[in-house]
Amino acid sequence: MGCVIQNMTPEHYDEMIELWNRIEGVGLSDADSRDGVIAYLIRNPGLSLVATDKGMIIGAVLCGHDGRRGYLHHLAVVPERRGEGIGKALVSECLSRLGRLGIRKCNAFVFADNDDGLGFWKSAGWAQRADLTVIQGLT
Ligand SMILES: CC(C)(COP(=O)(O)OP(=O)(O)OC[C@H]1O[C@@H](n2cnc3c(N)ncnc32)[C@H](O)[C@@H]1OP(=O)(O)O)[C@@H](O)C(=O)NCCC(=O)NCCS
């Protein structure tokens, strides 16, 4: 695989947001501001990960939980390094860490038209919930 998987830290933010911005299938919002991501990392210590090679970020995922279920957001691998098992390794490490915290199920949000993203999750055995849709309100 030729990369190192390590905890995401605030120092990764600039490089990571640049990566997420250029990857189709990742939808960014105001929650992905520097302060938003740092707050997420503080609330979910030791769960979000980056994959690096020679110090450069080539993959990333935000991982957290609400005490009941785990959540993965913004899983992405740079196009030139896809197909090497990096996405799978990031997800597998997140699931291990969630499992050690007693979290038994994990959800991921995927745009309905992201066929590649859905293909990835399904090939890993994740089930698409046809009985649910996401609704959102404002505080
Ligand atoms: C989805 C993504 C993270 C996969 O990363 P990756 O490092 O290329 O995936 P891996 O090499 O770890 O692949 C793991 C497995 O998934 C399979 N897979 C990967 N993409 C697939 C696809 N589009 N359709 C079907 N299977 C796929 C691989 O064949 C591999 O199978 P194997 O374990 O039997 O060998 C990457 O394509 C990406 O960044 N896409 C854009 C962002 C995105 O859509 N993210 C997901 C939505 S949140």
All structural domains of the chain = 4-123 (3.40.630.30)
pTM score of the predicted model = 0.97
Question: Which ligand 1 atom is at minimum distance from the Cα of 111?
Answer: 47
| Residues of the chain above pLDDT 90, percent | 99
Radius of gyration in angstroms for the set of CA atoms belonging to the chain, rounded to a whole number:
14
Q: What angle do CA 110, 116, 122 make, to 5 degrees?
A: 70
Q: What integer is the mean pLDDT of 28-42?
A: 97
Taking the centre of ligand 1 as the mean of its atom positions, its distance from the CA of residue 12, in whole angstroms, is 22
Judge if the beta carbon of residue 88 lies within 6 A of ligand 1: yes
Q: What integer is the mean pLDDT of 109-126?
A: 96
Q: What integer is the mean pLDDT of 93-113?
A: 97
- Return the best residue to mutate from 16, 61, 120 for the ligand 1 pocket (most ligand atoms within 8 A of CB): 120
Taking the centre of ligand 1 as the mean of its atom positions, its distance from the CA of residue 21, in whole angstroms, is 18
Closest CA to 120 of 63, 76, 59, 65: 76
What whole-number distance in Å separates Cα of residue 139 and Cα of residue 125? 35
Residue 1 has pLDDT above 90, yes or no: no
What whole-number distance in Å separates Cα of residue 64 and Cα of residue 97? 10
Taking the centre of ligand 1 as the mean of its atom positions, its distance from the CA of residue 76, in whole angstroms, is 9
Query: Average pLDDT of the chain?
Result: 97
